[in-house]
């Protein structure tokens, strides 16, 4: 079975292929499916945005489409940046600018508890929808640490491992991350769907 990924992110594509290939599922890019869809993420939840993206790409390609909407929710900021994680601080900021803004907004704040959330949605042309949510709890470090990962990974600290996401290997991160957990649950739901 082939699924089209509703994203231009090559890292997400590789991650999904690595996890779903054992089910005989191939995840291809929008370009490989011959579509280029820009979806305005107007939802107020990860579930709404994930569904918007998967549905739009499924309708454009005529193939089952899979989307991930994810972000960082910080307790001291009332759950922000949340669904706006990729746009936090405005379009002029890059990943480094966004996590620096986050650290600035958390100056003097405690507790620094947070969680990464990922919602995976797959829309099929017959109208069926599979959704899976994964979460990874942690805290926000006082300064960036590590060279790996992307986004907020340098400041997302896992107390049990005493490392940020950016200090973990790809295998270590996939084993505990929000996306890894959502994909594991999605994989099980997809197995059940195929039955």
Q: Can you tell me the distance from the alpha carbon of 128 to that of 131, in angstroms, rounded to the nearest whole number?
A: 10
pLDDT single digits (tens) 84-127: 999 999 999 999 999 999 999 999 998 999 999 999 999 999 99
Give the start-to-end residue ranges of the domains of the chain.
2-194
38 is an active site residue? no
How much is the pLDDT for 122?
97
Q: Which of 36, 69, 95, 192 is catalytic?
A: 69
Q: What is the pLDDT of residue 166?
A: 96
* pLDDT bucket at 14, cuts 50 / 70 / 90: confident
Predicted pLDDT of residue 9 = 84
Known binding-site residues for Mg(2+) equal 40, 69
Specify the CATH architecture of the domain 2-194: Alpha-Beta Complex (3.90)
pLDDT, one tens digit per residue, over 160-184 is 999 999 999 988 998 899 988 998 9
Tell me the binding residues for substrate.
7-12, 70, 150-153, 173, 178-179
Distance CA 7, CA 29 (A): 7
Q: Which SS3 state, helix, strand or coil, does residue 168 take? A: coil
Confidence of residue 12 (pLDDT cuts 50, 70, 90): confident
Q: What is the pTM of this model?
A: 0.93
- Distances from the Cα of 184 to the Cα of 114, 118, 144, 178, 189, angstroms: 21, 12, 28, 10, 9
> Which residues are annotated as part of the binding site?
7-12, 40, 69-70, 150-153, 173, 178-179
């Amino acid at each position: 079975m082939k699924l089209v990924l509703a994203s231009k992110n090559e890292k997400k594509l590789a991650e999904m292929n690595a996890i779903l290939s054992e089910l005989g599922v191939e995840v291809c890019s929008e370009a490989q499916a011959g579509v280029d869809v820009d979806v305005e993420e107007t939802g107020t939840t990860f579930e709404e945005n994930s569904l918007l993206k998967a549905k739009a790409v499924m309708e454009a390609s005529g193939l089952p489409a899979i989307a991930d909407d994810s972000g960082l929710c910080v307790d001291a900021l009332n759950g922000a940046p949340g669904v706006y994680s990729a746009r936090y601080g405005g379009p002029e900021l890059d990943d480094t600018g966004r996590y620096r803004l986050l650290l600035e907004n958390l100056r003097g704040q405690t507790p620094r508890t947070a969680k990464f959330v990922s919602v995976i949605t797959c829309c099929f042309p017959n109208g069926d929808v599979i959704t899976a949510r994964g979460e990874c709890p942690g805290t926000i470090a006082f300064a960036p640490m590590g060279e790996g990962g992307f986004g907020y990974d340098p400041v997302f600290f896992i107390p049990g491992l005493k490392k940020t996401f950016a200090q973990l290997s790809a295998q270590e991160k996939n084993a505990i991350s929000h996306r890894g957990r959502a994909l594991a649950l999605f994989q099980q739901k997809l197995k059940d769907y195929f039955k």
